[in-house]
Amino acid sequence: MSKNTKLWGGRFEGTVEEWVEQFGASISFDHQLAKFDLMGSLAHVQMLGQTGILSLEEAEQIQDGLQALLRDLEAGELHFDIANEDIHMNMEVLLTEKIGPLAGKLHTARSRNDQVATDMHLYLKEQLGHVLDKLANLNSVLLDLAEKHVETIMPGYTHLQHAQPISFAHHLMAYYNMFQRDSERFAFNLKHTDLSPLGAAALAGTTFPIDRQLSSDLLGFQQPYTNSLDAVSDRDFILEFLSNVSILMMHMSRFCEEIINWCSFEYQYISLSDSFSTGSSIMPQKKNPDMAELIRGKTGRVYGHLFGLLTVMKSLPLAYNKDLQEDKEGMFDTVETILNSLDVLAGMLSSMQVNKAKMQQSTENDFSNATELADYLAEKGLPFREAHEIVGKLVLDSIKHGKNIQDWDLKELQAYHPLIEEDIYIYLRPETAVQRRNSLGGTGFEQVKYQIEQAKKELKGEN
């Protein structure tokens, strides 16, 4: 049997067949951690030098080798080999090619278990920064749009039925609030990602006099993990990320569903710019909201990744198990999906056209002003339940006669209740209905302007 030449090959007499090796290898995807693996190694070796575990000269030579690898990586000149299984062993082999057997000292007081966890923390910390930036950008696009549409009136819906007229800006600001909560969740996620597992070694710590605080500081982490077993087996920070992205995608998917409805022939509330629409290969007239549909559709794969990892983690005994290698592909895909989706949604919103007239019209030919009449009577002292009953009857009669409430003349309306007077026609206008809903957080113009002002301060970090 041929000698086992793996970095861990010492206790082996046989070799693994190539197809089995491929099954176990992760380099085809964990190469995305290359930069972070080098950063982790640089901090580790600096710590080994400063604590005297390696001589300063040894540490410097290893650092020079790692820096050279970093330059090669940036130049696109690093080539990985599946025979070396994963990013960590590929890097060690490449370092050995650069500086010879001294490379073997880098792995003193370290294991791939704390190494891979460190890489993942560094990677996700960087990506969380991008997600937060893109979310802030999306919300500033929403704020700009809301500012332009405080007085644009649209039907507010419940059960997808016209309910009461609202300001379009109010509708947009509902999403602003959802996305702000998403930001807060990611900021909290950052707290659990900003921890250093380095120095936990395989599972139990090490006999070498390492300085975990130093390597944590060198890597810019908030602090080292407290427990070495937890450090190498914790993937909560990735699960939190996947669940936060799931909630964010759910919000985006709801928004996209509305966008898809709004640009249909039935609504015609908006039209998407050509740069965010596609045509049909058979129907020449088509302009499809594909990008909104794709965001809605991609929500499914993110949920899948969350459930995939939750299932991997379920029942996993402490500490490291190879199952944990399955934490990566779903996370990488989720990062790519969310960063692209955030850009696409922001671009779609900033370039779409809003058909104010069409929105307004659909509040004029419906019964979304029925509550106004009921409130009007209640304000004049009639118990609300009675007012509700009377207006319900009036709506029924209106439907039978093909009319809206405001189409009846005053005498006819007074037949339903004598408290109704000439000013009712003002109350029945959609603008009045919106403008008067000035309760805190309501759709009244003043309230919406207040929301926007507060949100602007919030985005600038002023409150």
CB of 270 to ligand ARG, least distance (A): 45
CB of 197 to ligand ARG, least distance (A): 12
CB of 234 to ligand ARG, least distance (A): 13
What's phi and psi for 155, nearest 5 deg?
-75, 135
C-alpha–C-alpha distance, residues 99 and 312, integer Å: 38
Selecting among 159, 275, 315, 439, the annotated active-site residue is: 159
84 or 299: CB nearest ligand ARG? 84
Which of 261, 184, 201 lies closest to 44 in space, CA to CA? Answer: 201
Selecting among 55, 264, 273, 280, the annotated active-site residue is: 280
User: Which residues lie below 8 Å from residue 91, measured CB to CB, with a gap of 6+?
Assistant: 34, 37, 38, 41, 69
58 or 327: CB nearest ligand ARG? 327
The verdict on whether 159 is a catalytic residue reads: yes
Which residues on neighbouring strands pair with residue 408, listed in sequence order?
none
C-alpha–C-alpha distance, residues 215 and 224, integer Å: 9
3-state secondary structure of 78: coil
Question: Which conformational region is residue 420 in: left (phi greater than 0), alpha (psi within -120 to 50 degrees), or beta?
Answer: beta
The verdict on whether 350 is a catalytic residue reads: no
252 or 324: CB nearest ligand ARG? 324
CB of 232 to ligand ARG, least distance (A): 9
The string of DSSP letters for 313-326 reads HTTPPSS--GGGGG
CB of 193 to ligand ARG, least distance (A): 17
| Structure tokens given for 97 | 């090619």
Residues lying near ligand ARG in the complex (CB under 6 A) are found at 26, 30, 86, 112-113, 116, 320, 322, 324-325
Residues 252/298, Cβ–Cβ less than 8 Å: no
* 153-158 and 161-167 beta bridge pairing: antiparallel
80 or 320: CB nearest ligand ARG? 320
106 or 391: CB nearest ligand ARG? 106
Instruction: Please give the positions annotated as active site.
Output: 159, 280
